[in-house]
Amino acid sequence: MGARPRPLYVIQKHRATSLHYDLRLEVDGVLKSWAVPKEPSTDPAVKRLAIEVPDHALSHGDYEGPNVEIWDRGTYRPLGDAPMSRALADGHVSVWIDGERLQGGFTLQRTRIERNQQQWLLIKRRDDDA
């Protein structure tokens, strides 16, 4: 039996009411998702707001349509020992992304819940890809 492929990572550029980027990470058979109002940054000093949105089916990771294009895709691996579901529940997720555009370490840090939406910060980790 071969090794399981690494989980999917995708960012979809979404031209809705306002332009934003949908960050999606495969976790436990679904795509955990965050709407990021500005393009993800490769500068560790720049933090991006990431608003948690409902999970999507894995098949949505390939979706492109009139207002949606795939901005980046690849795989990721969790950094740390905790399972991703536990890291999400704890509000601190660190991953290593191997995408076509983005590479290296990124952290999602939950900051608060506002109007029933969990708000996070997407932060580039200091590494050779910063």
Residue 57 lies in a domain: yes
Overall domain count for the chain: 1
- pLDDT digit of tens for each residue in the chain (130 aa)? 455 589 999 999 999 889 999 999 999 999 999 999 999 999 999 999 999 999 999 999 999 999 999 999 999 999 989 999 999 999 999 999 999 999 999 999 999 877 778 999 999 999 887 7
Res 4: pLDDT: 57
Residue 103 lies in a domain: yes
Q: Domain of 86?
A: 8-124
Residue 42 lies in a domain: yes
**Which CA distances in Å does 50 have to 4, 6, 81, 108?**
29, 23, 23, 8
Residue 112 lies in a domain: yes
